[in-house]
Amino acid sequence: MQNSDKDNIKLICDISELSNLFTDSNSLENFLSKTVEMVASHMKADVCSIYLYSDGTQELILKATMGLNQGLIGNVKMNVDEGLTGLALKELRPICERNASRNPNFKYFPDLGEEIYESFLAVPILRGTNKVGVMVIQNSEKNYFKEGDVTVLQAITSQLANTIEMARFLLSLDEDRQQKKVIKEEGDLKFVKGRVGSPGFVFAEAVVLLESNSLWLNQAVVQEHTVDDFYKALKDSEHQLEDMQTQIEETLADIASFIFNAQILMLKDSIFVNAMVDKIKKGIKPHAAIIEVAGNYLKKFDNIADEYLKDRSQDVKDICRRILSNLIGFDVNATNCEGRILIAKELSAGDVLKYSSEKVKGIILLSGGVTSHVCILASSLQLPVIIADEPRLMSIRNNTRVLMDAEIGNLYINPTDDIIESFREKQKLLKTSAEISSELKEKTFTADGSQVHLLANINLLGDLKIAKHYKAEGVGLYRTEFPFIVRKDFPSEEEQLVVYKKLFEGMPGKEMTIRTLDIGGDKVLSYFQEHSREKNPFMGMRSVRFSLRHKDIFAQQIRAILRASVGADVKIMFPMISSVDEFVEAKQLVLNCVSELRSSGAEFQVNPTIGMMIEMPSVMEILEELANYSDFFSIGTNDFVQYMLAVDRTNERVADMYLSHHPSILRAIKKVVDVSAKYGKEVSVCGEMAHEEKYIRYLLGIGVRRFSLSPSYIPKIQRAIMNVQIKDAEAFAKEILSMDKLTDISKKIGIS
């Protein structure tokens, strides 16, 4: 073939022109088919075809052809180990064959009509090292393509790669829509029964958090913007993020730092911004430049298993959506959740904080457990959460009105006026917190005068206000991990000192139980690489295991606690202790810190009380020995139930097996209480069981007198305790302890 016959520069310019005409996913097929037509005609080839590579199925799929059977578009598929086309992508190099049908790699597809074309040239379509697809030209004449043709085709495919990548974004958006359509056909959703993750009522419009990388831009493409508009959108985005950061700092001082930092940093990152600016300067429309750059970044993250980087991919999506929104003047996606109910498949604790700071009103999750830390945190943020394993919720259209009754776990989609009215009535009947607190007593006694201590579980410093309001007698559990979760690196001793000082200042003179770091499980630190590699994180490097493995971090925390608690009634508590050895090792570290601080001359707490949580089945046989070492016990029923019954507390699919009233659990709690009494050690219950009214009688009956609970439940639990006679409770507990069947216990306790 006479390569010199062709004006190759013109072809490249034509393809470039064609790319610019490409506007949305609907024109993708059109675009590809025009491209193959143009290339075939220009290269004087009998055939030109484009195969696109699917990351999901790892197959090449015929998407456009000029010269082969067009009826097979979409149906001819091969993996990269098949055929000469596959080989081009597998080896990331052009494959030029003079006599293709003789090549052992030639793959015959019936009806495609390829066999008559002997000259074959395949060039991979690549964006960097990312596989996009393969362009193939063929001719019936043998030995037809020459070296120069390879170069031309390579220039064309590199032009095509960007446009096809953008098309993929749009197609994934279309897939979302397709999926929505299919789901919609399953019938209109009116009511869903879920479980309460965090209580409250909300009636608001819904917004669905889609998982795909797609960015909504249909309206955007019809608008014209300049590079100045783009810069303005960047500035607006930066101001919005800084405002949100300031607001959250005012309300959530302990955990505020850095929530939006990653996004703010990206806006200031010249590589990220210049990638967009360069494209705009080359004539790409600003909205398309944003999407292309977002796509490039996300693609890179997709191929990495690392959790930290995966987290950053969410930041990329969020920041690009924000810039796009600011550019085109309306919300481009689901992230504007202010005043709305967010529906998501799953969220991390960090996500909950972020959406809370963006003023979401309620959250509906498709997965997760009610004792998961996402829910625990949400209740601290007074953010109602319902967990409902109903995939059709993801198909709800944005702005659909949803009523969440997160007191009992009911969801109403587009509720009728009657339902709305009945909820307004129900809300009126609920006493205001002012009314309730006026009934609250400073101290809690049973009906026959036994004193019971109600302490607060504190997750965020903001909980202290509620704890004081509801007259908590102190803090029975301060979960120190949340300030660790939201940061981008381990907080220093000094940073922790500031947070802990605020804690002690928040309830001066009251007892303060501060639990050492309990990360891992569902509280993954994005900056700690080892967590991302764990297959079974609840059984992994969690909690005190982490602290003992990383003694430098552990010691920093202990020193910060000791320095912050000068003169305070402080109790240091280790989570997830499984053996005497672990407890002794952890306690020794505290004692070492005491000696270290003493020689440094710093002011610190010299004599902290040191205790442990009961969360692991392994401690049940060594309780008496542990009582010799530990100053107190606190029963963390959330984990205790999880580990005793081997039921993941965050897995919605086994939620019906997560049974706190299992006889083994109830008897084990009694055993802990008995051993504590025998050794004169304080014992409390600090898991979610402590705020469930139905268990109060039983727990009082076996001798529990200290409950640590989310402070908003204090009024309800105080009232329940005030109605109990200890004698009745003891008889009740005795009867339950004699039962061996869950069904009998359920009936007796009143579990439906």
**Chain residues in the site for ligand PEP (CB under 6 A):** 376, 477, 479, 518, 615, 636-639, 686-687
What does 124 interact with, of ligand PEP, Mg ion, none (CB < 5 to 8 A by kind)?
Answer: none
Q: Is 119 left (phi over 0), alpha (psi -120 to 50) or beta?
A: beta
In terms of CB distance, is 67 or 521 closer to ligand PEP? Answer: 521
DSSP state of 523: B
Cβ pair 289, 279 in contact under 8 A: yes
In terms of CB distance, is 485 or 564 closer to ligand PEP? Answer: 485
What does 285 interact with, of ligand PEP, Mg ion, none (CB < 5 to 8 A by kind)?
Answer: none
Site for Mg ion in 303-322 (CB under 5 A): none
In terms of CB distance, is 569 or 639 closer to ligand PEP? Answer: 639
Q: Which residue of this chain has its Cβ atom nearest to Mg ion in the complex?
A: 639
What does 311 interact with, of ligand PEP, Mg ion, none (CB < 5 to 8 A by kind)?
Answer: none
Distance of CA 727 to the CA centre of its chain: 47
In terms of CB distance, is 34 or 691 closer to ligand PEP? Answer: 691
What does 637 interact with, of ligand PEP, Mg ion, none (CB < 5 to 8 A by kind)?
Answer: ligand PEP
Distance CA 358, CA 351 (A): 10
CB of 718 to ligand PEP, least distance (A): 20
Write the single-letter amino acid at 251.
Answer: T
Write the single-letter amino acid at 213.
Answer: N
The helix/strand/coil state of 623 is helix
Strands of 47-54's sheet, edge to edge? 77-79, 59-66, 47-54, 130-139, 119-127, 95-97
What b/e readout covers 185-221, taking b as 16+ CB neighbours within 10 angstroms? eeeebeebebbbbbbbbbbbebbbbbeebbbbbeebe
DSSP state of 313: H
CB of 457 to ligand PEP, least distance (A): 7
CB of 129 to Mg ion, least distance (A): 43
373 is a catalytic site residue: yes
In terms of CB distance, is 362 or 636 closer to Mg ion? Answer: 636
Site for Mg ion in 608-637 (CB under 5 A): 636
Q: Using alpha carbons, select from 350, 5, 319 the residue that is nearest to residue 149.
A: 5
In terms of CB distance, is 97 or 615 closer to ligand PEP? Answer: 615
What six digits make up the tokens of 614? 């009961």
Write the single-letter amino acid at 518.
Answer: D
Query: Is residue 625 classed exposed, middle or buried when 0-12, 13-18 and 19+ CB atoms within 10 A define those classes?
Result: middle
In terms of CB distance, is 537 or 636 closer to Mg ion? Answer: 636
Sequence-ordered list of residues with C-beta below 8 angstroms from that of 568, at least 6 positions apart, any chain: 504, 508, 512, 605
Sequence-ordered list of residues with C-beta below 8 angstroms from that of 451, at least 6 positions apart, any chain: 443, 444, 445, 705
Distance CA 515, CA 285 (A): 53
CB of 655 to Mg ion, least distance (A): 17
CB of 395 to Mg ion, least distance (A): 35
What does 686 interact with, of Mg ion, ligand PEP, none (CB < 5 to 8 A by kind)?
Answer: ligand PEP
The helix/strand/coil state of 574 is strand
Catalytic residue among 42, 373, 661, 691: 373
Distance CA 180, CA 170 (A): 15
What six digits make up the tokens of 132? 């996009």
686 is a catalytic site residue: yes
CB of 481 to ligand PEP, least distance (A): 8
Distance CA 344, CA 604 (A): 45
In terms of CB distance, is 532 or 543 closer to Mg ion? Answer: 543
Catalytic residue among 96, 320, 337, 686: 686
In terms of CB distance, is 86 or 687 closer to ligand PEP? Answer: 687
Backbone angles phi, psi at 204, to 5 degrees: -160, 175
Distance CA 81, CA 89 (A): 9
How many Cα atoms sit within 13 Å of 160 on the Cβ side? 29
Distance of CA 646 to the CA centre of its chain: 23
Strands of 410-413's sheet, edge to edge? 191-193, 410-413, 401-405, 201-208, 341-344, 362-365, 385-387, 195-198
In terms of CB distance, is 687 or 711 closer to ligand PEP? Answer: 687
* Residue from 582, 639, 652, 692 binding Mg ion (CB under 5 A): 639
What does 172 interact with, of ligand PEP, Mg ion, none (CB < 5 to 8 A by kind)?
Answer: none
CB of 639 to Mg ion, least distance (A): 4
| Site mask for Mg ion (CB under 5 A), range 140-169, x = bound | ------------------------------
CB of 372 to ligand PEP, least distance (A): 9
CB of 376 to ligand PEP, least distance (A): 6
Could you report how far apart the first and last alpha carbons of the chain are, in Å? 81
Identify which range of 233-241, 318-326, 639-647, 700-708 contacts Mg ion by CB under 5 A. 639-647
Cβ pair 468, 507 in contact under 8 A: yes
**CA-CA distances (angstroms) from residue 649 to 205, 392, 578?**
30, 24, 19
CB of 614 to ligand PEP, least distance (A): 9
CB of 637 to ligand PEP, least distance (A): 5
**CA-CA distances (angstroms) from residue 20 to 16, 130, 221, 539?**
6, 22, 12, 53
In terms of CB distance, is 321 or 542 closer to ligand PEP? Answer: 542
Residues forming contacts to Mg ion in the complex (CB under 5 A) are 636, 639
Q: Which residues are catalytic?
A: 373, 686
